Amino acid sequence: MNTSKNTQNKATLPFLNRRVKIGIVTALSGLNVIAYLVPANSQHSDHSSPTNTTTQGHRSSPTTSERKQDSLLNRTTTQEQNSSLKTPPQGQAEITEEEIEHFEVPTHTPQEREVEQLVNQGLEKLAKKNYQGALADFNKVLVMNSEHETTYRLRGELLRHMKDYKAAVKDYTQAIALNPLYWSNYVSRGEIYEIVGNYHHAMGDYGKAIELYPEDGIGYTHRGAVQARLGNYQAAMKDYENAIAINPARAEAYLNRGKLYVKLGNIKRYSKDERESARLHEKAIADYQQAAKLFSEQGYVAELQEARNLSQALKQRLVPARATR
């Protein structure tokens, strides 16, 4: 991992997609664009991370793997730090004191500094909703460095916000070409495919995200939603259950599974199986309530309200049925 390009700073920002932490001082609102990221949901060091900076994200509470990584970092002692210089990995020559003394930290070239300045300048314009100005800055970056993966992701998300979906897909495709192992790019492109109704390509991208990074559950959640939309209810239910089993803090999975329970319950009601219909609707209420709890803990007000409204509306519908049982 290139640590100079994947620095985790202090600033964080929740977005609709809730997938990453960020490390740029600029705070944005209403748009899923960020810089200097690390995926928020249990990214391990052996997963490919962006070769430059940024992507969009779904947040959840820290996972076991994150806590383990923090614990390992915190347990590093002075003795370990000293011995790390004296005991080279097996098969490598020992590092000499002369090499340590003359070691130079890599520096950025003037063009690299200008590129990063333009990226941050574009982000600042986004914060002020100057979308055309931000787009102009990102375009300049890509003229200077046609392989700047960060900017393809940023511009792709900006173009999505501007509803230029064809161009947004093209940018995410380029980001994937530059870093084909970074799972979040597939999720982002899959979401755009889903918006325009290209469900086959959307499920392909979500499946690739699952293949690359199954530990989070986000790919399962998104793919389950597409399966449900296509009427593949059994496959959708399996995806939601996988997402929840992998990441119990995945609020969207509970919300979407609750909606699927309602749909299945309605089917049973139409077939005159009132008992099974009521059972499925009760399960939907439980999922809505769990989703509301998680959204509340994670600070997502709009999603919290949606889950509460769905739960309350379904409870009111079930009052007559409960009274006759």
pLDDT tens readout for residues 154-176: 999 999 999 999 999 999 999 99
Bridge partner list, 20: 39
Q: Is the pLDDT of residue 252 over 70?
A: yes
More confident residue, 7 or 323: 323
More confident residue, 77 or 252: 252
Cβ atoms of residues 250 and 221 within 8 Å: yes
Question: Residue 273 — very low, low, confident or very high, per pLDDT cuts 50/70/90?
Answer: confident
Residue 325 CA to residue 306 CA, distance in Å, equals 29
Residue 191 CA to residue 195 CA, distance in Å, equals 6
> 92-101, 119-128, 140-149, 256-265: lowest mean pLDDT where?
92-101
Residue 50 phi, psi (nearest 5): -55, 140
Average pLDDT over residues 260-289: 93
Average pLDDT over residues 24-39: 36
pTM above 0.75, yes or no: no
Task: Specify the amino acid at residue 42.
Answer: S
- Non-local CB neighbours of 28 within 8 Å, separated by 6+ positions: 13, 34, 123, 126, 127
Q: Is the pLDDT of residue 83 over 80?
A: no
Residue 231 CA to residue 233 CA, distance in Å, equals 5
> What tokens does 321 get?
């049925």
CATH code of the region 10-63+110-182: 1.25.40.10
- Quote the pLDDT of residue 111: 87
Query: Of 255, 191, 177, nearest to 222 (Cα)?
Result: 191
Would you kindly state where each structural domain of the chain is located, as residue ranges?
Answer: 10-63+110-182
> What tokens does 228 get?
């449900």
Q: Furthest-apart CA pair in the chain: how many Å?
A: 86
SS (H, E, C) 116-130: HHHHHHHHHHHHCCC
Query: Of 126, 125, 202, nearest to 157 (Cα)?
Result: 126
Query: Of 171, 127, 129, 123, nearest to 148 (Cα)?
Result: 171
Q: Read off the DSSP letter of residue 1.
A: -
Instruction: State the average pLDDT for the chain.
Output: 76
Residue 129 CA to residue 133 CA, distance in Å, equals 9
More confident residue, 118 or 66: 118
In a 13 Å sphere around the CA of 3, the CA atoms on its Cβ side amount to 3
Residue 207 CA to residue 222 CA, distance in Å, equals 9
Q: Is the pLDDT of residue 8 over 90?
A: no
Query: Of 62, 60, 66, 69, nearest to 243 (Cα)?
Result: 60
Q: Is the pLDDT of residue 151 over 50?
A: yes
Question: Residue 126 — very low, low, confident or very high, per pLDDT cuts 50/70/90?
Answer: confident
Residue 34 CA to residue 25 CA, distance in Å, equals 10
- Residue linked to tokens 């699927």: 260
What percentage of the chain has pLDDT greater than the value 70? 65
Integer angstrom CA distances of residue 310 from 64, 144, 156, 205, 239? 31, 49, 33, 29, 21
Question: Residue 39 — very low, low, confident or very high, per pLDDT cuts 50/70/90?
Answer: very low
- Residue linked to tokens 């530990």: 215
Q: Read off the DSSP letter of residue 94.
A: P
Question: Residue 320 — very low, low, confident or very high, per pLDDT cuts 50/70/90?
Answer: low
The per-residue b/e assignment along 165-174, b for 16 or more CB within 10 angstroms, e otherwise, is: eeebbbbbeb
